[in-house]
Structure 1
Amino acid sequence: MTFVTTATDSVLSLPDHTQLPDSDGTFVKNLQEHPQSILLTDSIKPILEQLHPDGQYCIGQDSGIYWRLTDPPQKGAEAPDWFYVPNVPPTLNGKIRRSYVLWKEYVAPLIVIEFVSGDGSEERDRTPPSLREDGTVGKFWVYEQAIRVPYYAIYEVEKALLEVYRLLDNTYQLMRPNERGHYLIAPLAVELGIWQGRYQNAELPWLRWWNAQGNLLLTGEERAEVERQRAEVERHKRETIVEKLRSLSPEQLDALGIDPKMLD
């Protein structure tokens, strides 16, 4: 597939997400990547629903971001493990997004997250296109200089190491963690950090969100469990009160204005 553009080409003639490949044919590099992405998406969903009551936002998980036209098309795309784009529709013309095409959207992701499977050199590669004969570029350079993503996170699972960069003065600056060891993503009023615990039947260091007060953002399953435990505590309290009232004499219950029949 070859794309040829000129100065007179209309943006409307450029390929969209339905015309561009949605996969490069490679496998997910480790079994933690998929549940890790789900964990990030599931737990931050209530925050995004508050920020976007109209539902205008997009989350990508191992999905392509097309930032330039190339032949083959995949050379002009990066596929972050997780990213979030504010103020764009989750679908286009009633179709699920196959990829995110910048020349059709114009809105860059607010945050991109990469899960390192190798030595981390690919995720930190700052090589510009001018330094390689084949025109390939470093992933770090693409996010910083081409797509211009405000926040870029690199998570090394094997080392339980997290780096977060913020775009300042057109350059990524390595952020310092706060006193909780987390990184504030200010536009979302959330923090990103590492949590050691069990998720999807695996005890591992997981990348997770916290609110600005340092409270862990729970998944839907975790929220349901908290509600179940709360209901169990309330039920136990009621049963304890009823048992104490049943130990009282009719006269004592009458003095409290309680009908003994209510305790049956």
Structure 2
Amino acid sequence: MATKPIETRQTIELPDHTQLPDRDNNFVKNFQEHPQSILLTESITPILEIIHPDHHYCIGQDSDIYWRLTDPIERGVVAPDWFYVPNVPPTLKGKPRRSYVLWQEMISPLIVIEFVSGDGSEEQDKTPWEGKFWLYETVIHAGYYAIYEVELARVQVYQLSANHYELIEPNERGHYPIAEMGVELGIWKGIYQNLELPWLRWWDSQGNLLLMGHELAEQERQAKELAEQMAIEERQARESVEQRLLELEQRLREAGL
């Protein structure tokens, strides 16, 4: 009696971040986008260090998120201008990520942010399997999706609710609370890296602007100068009082009192 050949089941090895391209042929659209990403990252880092004492989080800046294995590979990737993923290690096997591979780590970004460089249609595109809005809402499941338009000095923030994005209304300060991070997102008009623009920035839940390193240094410098000026004025006031007392004592002695 002939024996049947033993069937073997082939194991498919999915590629990880080291085996996938680290760019999707996109490029930074203007001189404002890179500073904007730095501004968001640097100012939020102290908050994230408190939220994650184990340092388990990652931030992507114009970095790829692979959400589906496709042929060609570029059809299964999207590159938000900025995103934050909680509760994942900052490196993988000691190496910085080349991309964020959703099927490998299984944790969705808490927030993704897109900087509008055209008319905004790309960021609002809900075309199934292609549009950014659809991908973030339906496949990637980012908890929040922010669309920032520097030319209109505005940001629209959507929150995922029952697998659908709902537009958030701003609070009394004109900011959009991101409750899980204990912060608010909004527009700040000022100068950063020699550009005076309506920048996208973070505030704490009490409405205090989260400062950059140079802003903190300037704040400390001004506080030091103020303290020094107050000390000088206090010393001058004390010396003035002491001088008047000496003059009064002199007049009393001269009057024989």
TM-score interval (norm. to shorter): 0.7 to 0.9
- 1:221 aligns with 214
State the partner residue of 2:144.
151
- Distance in 2 separating the partners of 1:212 and 1:9: 49
Structure 1 position 157, deviation (Å): 1.4
CA separation in 1, counterparts of 2:153 and 2:235?
A: 50
- Could you state the TM-score of these two structures normalised by the residue count of structure 2? 0.88
- Show the counterpart of 1:184: 177
Deviation track 1:186-230 (CA, whole Å, cap 9, x = no partner) reads 101111111111111111000011111111111111111101111
**Displacement of 1:58:** 0.4
Structure 1: how far apart are the matches of 2:58 and 2:229? 43
- Tell which structure's C-alpha radius of gyration is larger: 2
- For residue 192 of structure 1, give the secondary structure of its aligned residue in structure 2: strand
Equivalence for 2:160: 167
Partner of 1:128: 128
Residue 236 (structure 1) aligned with residue 236 (structure 2): no
Computed over aligned residues only, the root mean square deviation of the Cα atoms, in angstroms, reads: 1.9
Unaligned runs of at least 5 residues, structure 2: 1-8, 247-257
Q: What one-letter code is carried by the residue in structure 2 that aligns with 1:92?
A: L
How far has the Cα of 1:9 moved from its partner? 3.9
Question: 2:112 aligned with 1:112, yes or no?
Answer: yes
Q: Confirm or deny: 8 A CA contact 2:127 2:134 kept in the other structure.
A: yes
Rounded Cα–Cα distance in structure 1 between residues aligned with 2:38 and 2:10:
42
Matched, 1:212 2:205: yes
Deviations 1:83-122 (A, max 9, x none): 0000111111111111101111111100000001011111
Q: How far apart in 1 are the matches of 2:160 and 2:10? A: 32
Count matched residues.
Answer: 238
The 2-side partners of 1:8 and 1:165 are apart by 42
Q: How does 1:11-160 map to 2 (within 5 A)?
A: 13-129=13-129, 137-160=130-153
CA deviation string 1:141-199 (max 9, x = no partner) = 11000011110000111111211111111111111111111111110111111111111
15-24 vs 31-40, greater mean Cα deviation: 15-24
Q: Return the TM-score normalized by structure 1.
A: 0.85
Separation in structure 1 between the aligned mates of residue 31 and residue 209 of structure 2, nearest angstrom: 24
**Residue in 2 aligned with 1:199?**
192
3-state SS of the aligned residue for 1:28?
Answer: coil
What is aligned with 2:6?
A: none
Mean alpha-carbon deviation: is it higher for 233-242 or for 169-178?
A: 233-242
CA displacement, residues 227-252 of structure 1 (integer Å, 9 cap, x when unaligned): 111111111222222333444559x7
Conserved in 1, the CA contact under 8 Å of 2:24 and 2:79? no
4+ runs of 1 displaced by more than 6 Å?
none
CA distance in 1, matches of 2:100, 2:237: 63
C-alpha distance in 2 between matches for 1:193 and 1:108: 23
Q: Is 36-45 or 71-80 further displaced after alignment?
A: 71-80
Check conservation: 2:24, 2:77, Cα contact below 8 A: no
- For 2:114, what is the secondary structure of its paired residue? strand
